[in-house]
Amino acid sequence: MITMALRLAGKRCVVIGGGPVAARRIALFLAEQAKITVVSPRVTPEIEALANSGQIIWHPQPYSETVDLEADFVLLATSDSQLNEQVAQRARSFGALVNRADNRDDCDFTFPASVDIGDLQFAIFTGRVSPRLSRLMKQDLLKRYKPVADILPAFKKLRREVRQLLPTPAERETFWQTYLGEEQLAMIIDGKWKRVEEILNNAISSIRIKP
Ligand SMILES: C[C@@]1(CC(=O)O)c2cc3[nH]c(cc4nc(cc5[nH]c(cc(n2)[C@H]1CCC(=O)O)[C@@](C)(CC(=O)O)[C@@H]5CCC(=O)O)C(CC(=O)O)=C4CCC(=O)O)c(CCC(=O)O)c3CC(=O)O
Ligand SMILES: NC(=O)C1=CN([C@@H]2O[C@H](COP(=O)(O)OP(=O)(O)OC[C@H]3O[C@@H](n4cnc5c(N)ncnc54)[C@H](O)[C@@H]3O)[C@@H](O)[C@H]2O)C=CC1
């Protein structure tokens, strides 16, 4: 299995069904600027608002064979399993990649639980075993790694300084291996970034004063 971050700008995405599961996934595709069409007699208020503001197209009707499934991605999120199955087959005949919210074994791709904390991003899969566990681990990661996300801007500056001071990749690798290890990560998680920053700054200063 390959896990990857896809660029979806301009890609066509058709969503059948408009409940909370569809709403969650629409938000993800929309954030990547995909072109989204939803077909569903009823939708959540979030989906309705997106349609009203022209960010997505909503056809307020049940699925029928006349629905255009020529798309890059088709998300099946109705509560009718038989329908999901039937549409999955038709969508694949048009070459679309299919996700079915109700059947893990009939998905060409699946959604991870994703956590964004500033520039820090995690994607969690459980091999399709327990989405509930994914959700719980997501909460745990959010709490645990918030301090790491918070120091990324300061870290960016330090990394730039090291890059300027040490001309070769090998020297930079050695620097980071020497001064940033498991112990320092544990300190950052523990809220002791200032101490780690001091160590790194001292190390950088000592390179500066070398002849
Ligand atoms: C295989 C996969 C395919 C896919 O849908 O892409 C799939 C399938 C199914 N989910 C089901 C149920 C639930 N799903 C959630 C929640 C999430 N489900 C997500 C992903 C995935 N769900 C893919 C696997 C990813 C992996 O490898 O872990 C998350 C991570 C991402 C997202 O949905 O955006 C999101 C976490 C949200 C977050 O980020 O917080 C909850 C909990 C809740 O909502 O609180 C429940 C109820 C409790 C439970 O069952 O655990 C059912 C049974 C339906 C039924 O019983 O009818 C199926 C069908 C089946 O298993 O066959
Ligand atoms: N993968 C996941 O993360 C999860 C998957 N599920 C599964 O996904 C399904 C959808 O979940 P929810 O959004 O919570 O369900 P929901 O019942 O709130 O929404 C279903 C949507 O499908 C629409 N719909 C029904 N018949 C239709 C038709 N013939 N044509 C077009 N649209 C139709 C409804 O109008 C509604 O908008 C659940 O039935 C369950 O099997 C449930 C929870 C999480």
For ligand 2, say whether the CB of 67 is within 6 Å of any of its atoms. no
- Closest by alpha carbon to 16, among 34, 41, 35? 41
pLDDT of residue 188: 97
Separation of 92 CA from ligand 1 center, angstroms? 22
151: exposed, middle or buried (Cβ count in 10 Å: 0-12, 13-18, 19+) = middle
- Ligand number nearest CA of 14 is 2
Separation of 191 CA from ligand 2 center, angstroms? 42
pLDDT of residue 211: 61
Separation of 17 CA from ligand 2 center, angstroms? 6
Ligand 2 atom at minimal distance to the Cα of residue 62: 30
For ligand 1, say whether the CB of 79 is within 6 Å of any of its atoms. no
- How many angstroms separate the CA atoms of 35 and 12, rounded? 5
* Model-level ipTM above the cut of 0.95: no
pLDDT of residue 144: 94
pLDDT of residue 145: 94
Ligand 1 atom at minimal distance to the Cα of residue 28: 34
Separation of 128 CA from ligand 1 center, angstroms? 8
0.90 cut: is pTM over it?
no
For the chain (211 residues), the mean pLDDT of every run of 10, in chain order, is 83 98 96 96 98 98 97 98 97 97 95 88 90 93 94 94 95 96 96 96 88 61
Which of 14, 37, 38, 40 has the most ligand 2 atoms within 8 A of CB, as the residue to mutate?
Answer: 40
Q: How far is CA 118 from CA 125, 147, 150, 185, in A?
A: 21, 11, 8, 17
Q: How far is CA 160 from CA 142, 188, 193, 204, in A?
A: 27, 19, 18, 11
For ligand 1, say whether the CB of 160 is within 6 Å of any of its atoms. no
Separation of 157 CA from ligand 2 center, angstroms? 46
Close Cβ partners of 46 (under 8 Å, ≥ 6 residues apart): 23, 27
